[in-house]
Amino acid sequence: MFLTFTRGADPAHAGFGYAAFATTMTIGRLSGDAIVRRVSRTTIILVGGLLAASGLLVATLVPSVPAAMLGFALVGAGCSNIVPVLYSAIGKQTLMPESVAVPAVTTLGYAGILMGPASIGFVAHVASLPVAFLIIAVFLIGVAMSGRLLKV
């Protein structure tokens, strides 16, 4: 919808935005263990969050279809290893038992899956989809900054 209505992409090609996201997400996940071995987990969260935020900023602020495609690809690459790193941190933390930590993190994840699209839709309805994307970019910067709190 963003690519067709906001960027004027041909509807037959609008699915390439999701394909760009999914491709870089898949490549990132498949190469994630090798990347994590080379850099710290906090760096993964910092760089991933900033990469994903910059992708949304490019997609939203640069008014062209190729820029939006690149932006969505950056979002996929940036987000690809944040969640796996956080899930692996559950087993390494000592603040709460794993039997409590895993359900707590899983519940938060499912809440995001359920509430995220509805929240984006609400903001898009009240303001616009680009505004909703910019708000997500701000949240992703918050995710990036929170990486320094990771203790593993």
Domains assigned to the chain:
2-149 (1.20.1250.20)
Residue 152's pLDDT band (boundaries 50, 70, 90)? low
As a whole number of angstroms, the distance between CA 117 and CA 91 comes to 29
Q: Could you give the percent of the chain with pLDDT greater than 90? A: 84
pLDDT at residue 94 above 90? no
What angle separates helix 129-146 from helix 98-126, to the nearest 10 degrees?
A: 150
Higher pLDDT, 117 or 89: 117
User: What is the band of 4 on the pLDDT scale with cuts at 50, 70, 90?
Assistant: very high
- Model-level pTM? 0.92
b/e sequence 52-73, b meaning 16+ C-beta within 10 Å: bbbbbbbbbeeeebeebbbbbb
